[in-house]
C-alpha cells in the first residue's frame, strides 16, 4: 500500500474562516437594521400620531365662490387644502367646546379615535341650494315624514323619515328657535348612548354671501345643539374677509 493510503485524513477546522466571515456580516447587518428600526420606528410613530395634523396657527386665505375666508392651518383637516388661493371647498375639524384646531394640549382628541366624539367636522363650499337645512323643512322634509312626531329631549322633537325617502336610518330632529326658523338636524341615533359615533348628526347653514357650512358632530352632544349651532356660525363669520351679510 502506498504511503498516501496509510496517511491520516487531514483534519478540517470546525468553523471555517468563510463561515465566520458570513456570520459576522449577518450580525453586523442585523445590528444596523435594529438601529434603523429603532430610529425609524420613533419617526414613523410620530408621523402616525400626527396623521396629517399640524399645530401651526398660520392663517390660510381661501376664496370659495363669492366669499373669501381665512382659517388657521391647524383647523384645516387635510394637508392638501393648506394653501392659499381659490378652492372648491375646505374641510375643518375643531375641538368642542373651545372651537380650537389641533394643538399639543388637545392632541388626543385628534389622534385617538376613541376620543374623536369631542370634535366637530365642517365642510365649507359654495351654496348649490337656495335654502339651508332649516329652510328645507317645510318645502322638502315635511313631505317625507312618516308617522307622528315624538318628544325627544333637550327641547328637540323627533320625526321619522319614510323608508323610501333615501335617508336610511336617519331621523329628523327639530326645535323652535326664538326669532328665527326652526332648528333642523339629521341624525343616526345610536342604540345606546355609549355607541354614539363622532359624526352621526349633520346640519348645514348658510354664512356670508354664498357659503354652505355642513357640519357633523356626535349625537352625544345633542344637549348642546343650540350652542354648537351658534358657535359654528360665529366661528365662520368671524373669519370672513369680505365681512358680508348673508344673502337670502
What pLDDT does residue 113 have? Answer: 85
Angstrom CA distances, 60 to 57, 78, 212, stand at 9, 13, 19
- CA-to-CA distance for 99 and 23, rounded, in angstroms? 59
Stated pTM of the model? 0.78
Grid cell 356670508 is found at 208
Q: What is the pLDDT of residue 151?
A: 98
pLDDT, residue 12, reads 54
pLDDT given for residue 51 in this prediction:
64
Give mean pLDDT in consecutive 10-residue pieces for the chain, a chain of 248 residues.
Answer: 47 59 62 47 39 93 97 97 97 97 94 91 96 97 97 97 96 97 97 92 97 98 98 98 57
Question: Residue 229's pLDDT is what?
Answer: 98
Length of the chain: 248
Amino acid at each position: 500500500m502506498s504511503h498516501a493510503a496509510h496517511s491520516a485524513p487531514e483534519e478540517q477546522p470546525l468553523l471555517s474562516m468563510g463561515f465566520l466571515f458570513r456570520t459576522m456580516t449577518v450580525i453586523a447587518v442585523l445590528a444596523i437594521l435594529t438601529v434603523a428600526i429603532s430610529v425609524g420606528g420613533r419617526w414613523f410613530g410620530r408621523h402616525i400620531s400626527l396623521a396629517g395634523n399640524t399645530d401651526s396657527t398660520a392663517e390660510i386665505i381661501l376664496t370659495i365662490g363669492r366669499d373669501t375666508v381665512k382659517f388657521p392651518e391647524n383647523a384645516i383637516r387635510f394637508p392638501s387644502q393648506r394653501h392659499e388661493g381659490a378652492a372648491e371647498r375646505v374641510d375643518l375639524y375643531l375641538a368642542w367646546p373651545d372651537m380650537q384646531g389641533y394643538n399639543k394640549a388637545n392632541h388626543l382628541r385628534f389622534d385617538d379615535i376613541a376620543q374623536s366624539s369631542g370634535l366637530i367636522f365642517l365642510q365649507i363650499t359654495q351654496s348649490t341650494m337656495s335654502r339651508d337645512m332649516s329652510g328645507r323643512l317645510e318645502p322638502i322634509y315635511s313631505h317625507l315624514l312618516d308617522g307622528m312626531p315624538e318628544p325627544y329631549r333637550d327641547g328637540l322633537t323627533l320625526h321619522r323619515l319614510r323608508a323610501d325617502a333615501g335617508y336610511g336610518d336617519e331621523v329628523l330632529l327639530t326645535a323652535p328657535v326664538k326669532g328665527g326658523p326652526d332648528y333642523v338636524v339629521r341624525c343616526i341615533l345610536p342604540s345606546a348612548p355609549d355607541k354614539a359615533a363622532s359624526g352621526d348628526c349633520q346640519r348645514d347653514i348658510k354664512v356670508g354671501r354664498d357659503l354652505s357650512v355642513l357640519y357633523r358632530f356626535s349625537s352625544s352632544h345633542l344637549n348642546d345643539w343650540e350652542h354648537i349651532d351658534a358657535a359654528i356660525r360665529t366661528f365662520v363669520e368671524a373669519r370672513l374677509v369680505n365681512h358680508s351679510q348673508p344673502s337670502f
